[in-house]
A = this chain, B = another copy of it.
């Protein structure tokens, strides 16, 4: 998604969830901390950890804050987080919604003690559910869907004999995308929406079980990957081990994994639902090479998200792969563009072309998406100034044309160049010698038999999606 563009245009990433249960009673906060580090790419706005000691007082200790994992947590903070049952969260949100109160995980008291909830995804019926709850006297302290889910779990808990059944009953009411990690006083529960829009997987290390948005976080805590939580499945981990309830599952062909996890969101070293992300991107690059071949001397990727697809393009086309760019890894969230600065471009500070590599060459440049086009135009200009003879742009996703209701913050229409321009117009605007977008029908090459959601490209939503233009009067 034009990773560099995101720095300026604020395209949204998702969230990441993590859970840990040490059946031997050891502290899990350090593992949750490491796990969140590995999921940091899924959300940089805020993060939090809540832990309970299931063998002790069962008090919940939590810490949440705005900022990156290494900004919110230090040694002292981690040492106060005693407990063998833990839930962690990293969060992204659009600028307007930055409220400290919205940081997760949510920690709440309900009839059975303390409930902790971390959630990735968006409900499509959140507004209706909020109104319904308000009409029974409910109060809300955040604007996040997790609070709606928590309410339903709390209410359902009155009618059933265990927390996991309360989660199941809540799932019958909530619609949309969700990967949930929930802790009830003595249990760790994970659940994935029936469509499987958001990923969730299971890991194990000795007698500790883990739940994580991506397998890279399982690797980060030196655990073995066990398997993915299946769409619609509810996993319950207690001192007696792990159990599964798949009664909410739907038929595999109706499942609808977010294809954008493979294109951009997920870390390339993760494997989701048996499809390796690196591999999917190699295949995307190969598909681009098949669809849009060109005579060229070098294939280059825009760091970091375009690199793997560029490799795939190179492998398929036989055109050598090269490193054309240096990316400045010190340009982070807090980079400012001084007001007085006139000439310096913020693209330039993030990316520099290695003239040695591109001079005199015909270049194929692969990126994952184009949003406004200005960043692409800048990069192409830099390549040409460095002596590139031609620049052929290949984009490893189709153009965004439809809003996402499941948690991916696609920019509004007027920001999307593809919304109002043809590919040829865009090519001209960004100064490319040719331009090719991934074909919608080739997306399936990336993920094999898996059933996926490509609604942002096609408008074919896996479920009913009401307009969501009601803004909550909080701020």
Contact A341 B140 (CB under 8 A): no
Chain B, residue nearest A69 (CB):
B330
Q: Cβ of A41: which chain B residues have Cβ within 8 Å of it?
A: 330
Q: How far is the CA of A114 from the CA of B147 in the complex (A)?
A: 16
Q: Mark A211-243, 1 if CB is under 8 A from B, else 0.
A: 000001001111000000000000000000000
Contact A79 B340 (CB under 8 A): yes
- Please tell me if A173 contacts chain B, counting CB pairs below 8 Å: no
Chain B, residue nearest A135 (CB):
B111
Interface segment out of the listed A55-63, A196-204, A399-407, A421-429 = A55-63
Contact A349 B109 (CB under 8 A): no
Total residues of chain A contacting the partner, CB 8 A: 104
Q: Mark A245-281, 1 if CB is under 8 A from B, else 0.
A: 0000000000000000000000111010000101100
Contact B154 A113 (CB under 8 A): no
Contact A37 B78 (CB under 8 A): no
Q: How far is the CA of A77 from the CA of B1 in the complex (A)?
A: 32
Contact B114 A137 (CB under 8 A): no
- Please tell me if A74 contacts chain B, counting CB pairs below 8 Å: yes
- Please tell me if A27 contacts chain B, counting CB pairs below 8 Å: yes
What's the least CB distance linking A163 to chain B, in Å?
Answer: 13
- Please tell me if A5 contacts chain B, counting CB pairs below 8 Å: no
Q: Cβ of A126: which chain B residues have Cβ within 8 Å of it?
A: none
Q: How far is the CA of A336 from the CA of B37 in the complex (A)?
A: 11
Q: How far is the CA of A34 from the CA of B336 in the complex (A)?
A: 10
Contact B70 A336 (CB under 8 A): yes
Q: How far is the CA of A209 from the CA of B99 in the complex (A)?
A: 29
Contact A222 B348 (CB under 8 A): yes
Q: Secondary structure of the A side of the interface?
A: mixed
Chain B, residue nearest A222 (CB):
B343
Give the copy number: 4
Contact A31 B344 (CB under 8 A): yes
Q: Which residues of A110-139 are within 8 A (CB) of B?
A: 110-111, 113-115, 130, 134-139
Contact B355 A220 (CB under 8 A): no
Q: How far is the CA of A114 from the CA of B329 in the complex (A)?
A: 35
Q: How far is the CA of A135 from the CA of B154 in the complex (A)?
A: 9
> Which of B111, B136, B474 meets A114, CB within 8 Å?
B474
Q: Mark A321-361, 1 if CB is under 8 A from B, else 0.
A: 11101101111101110111111110011001111110000
What's the least CB distance linking A387 to chain B, in Å?
Answer: 13
Contact B139 A115 (CB under 8 A): yes
Q: Cβ of A74: which chain B residues have Cβ within 8 Å of it?
A: 334, 336
Q: Which residues of A389-418 are within 8 A (CB) of B?
A: none
Contact B338 A33 (CB under 8 A): yes
Contact A343 B221 (CB under 8 A): yes
Q: How far is the CA of A463 from the CA of B290 in the complex (A)?
A: 60
- Please tell me if A179 contacts chain B, counting CB pairs below 8 Å: no
Chain B, residue nearest A346 (CB):
B34
